[in-house]
Homo-oligomer: A and B are copies of this chain.
Amino acid sequence: MASFGRWNSLSYAPPASPSAPSLPGRSQNSGPHESSPYPEQLHSSYSRVFPAARPDYYYIQPSFPPGTDLDVIRAFHMVDRDRSGFIDENELRQALCTGYQRFNPRTIRLLMFLFRNPSDPLRVGPKEFAALWSCLKQWRGIFERFDRDRSGKIDLGELRDALYSLGYAVPPSVLQVLISRYDDGSCQRVELNFDSFIECGMILKGLTEKFKEKDKDYTGSATVSYDVFLSMTIPFLVSYN
């Protein structure tokens, strides 16, 4: 069996607190580069898409976890266009796709699947939205931090380092397979934009969480029956394509 290798102690460790990297605006972890290659629009797209909510947005009082950032609550009310108190796939797509950022429908579906409400698997509730939003903010900060050449894309090495900083020590062979889906056959080095970075990261996040459920002591290995193996993987596979 393969081991966790040199990153053993950090493999699938809980990601850092969402509050660690900051977004929008400059990331606190943005590395040695002081100036950013990202247009200001990109940095501030979250706050511009979701301006301060007016009091009359409080059509339904969704129940957010105590201490939820006001920006997240504000964003929720903006995204929840049908005022149902839940976010559906269409609402999430409209919220994430701006003039400055495209998101593949596959990525949106993956986010919906990973952050779905247990009692309503087709929608995201306030609690799940808070987690999703914080996660995206965090990953945006990480993306900007590890895009060392400020190209707006990250390559295989930058992806490896970025995922490692998030607590995922992924074997190079797996990363190679993961990144291969973005190879357009042009023989150029594969690079990921933020959308693809999120997709790769979320695939790893989803599978890692499934594995952790079976490795509660963090031994790095798990014994699973055939039934359990199918139950761990099929929902992920079926819901995300």
CB neighbours (8 Å) of A174 from chain B are 227, 230-231, 234
CB neighbours (8 Å) of A215 from chain B are 226
A241 touches B238 (CB 8 A): no
Decide if A2 is an interface residue (CB 8 Å cutoff). Answer: yes
B231 touches A171 (CB 8 A): yes
If over half of A's interface residues share one DSSP class (helix, strand or loop), that class is named, otherwise mixed; here it is helix
CB neighbours (8 Å) of A180 from chain B are 238
The quantity of this chain's copies bound in the complex is 2
Decide if A70 is an interface residue (CB 8 Å cutoff). Answer: no
The contact string, 1 if C-beta is below 8 Å from chain B, for chain A 159-183, is: 0000000000011011001101100
What count of chain A residues pass the 8 Å CB interface test?
Answer: 43
Cβ distance A122 to chain B, nearest Cβ, rounded Å: 9
Closest to A227 in B: B2
B234 touches A203 (CB 8 A): yes
CB neighbours (8 Å) of A240 from chain B are 237, 241
Closest to A8 in B: B226
Knowing A207-B234, A230-B207, A236-B237, say if A223 contacts B225 (CB, 8 Å).
no
Which of A204, A224, A229, A240 gathers the greatest number of chain B CB atoms within 10 Å? A229
What are 10 pairs between A and B in contact, CB < 8 Å?
A: A5-B227, A12-B226, A171-B231, A174-B227, A177-B234, A204-B230, A207-B229, A215-B226, A237-B240, A241-B241
Q: Measuring CB to CB, which residues of chain A are less than 8 angstroms from any residue of chain B?
A: 1-5, 11-12, 106, 170-171, 173-174, 177-178, 180-181, 203-204, 207-208, 211, 215, 220-231, 233-241
**What 10 pairs across the A-B complex have the smallest Cβ distances?**
A241-B241, A2-B227, A1-B225, A223-B223, A221-B225, A174-B230, A171-B227, A181-B238, A177-B235, A2-B225
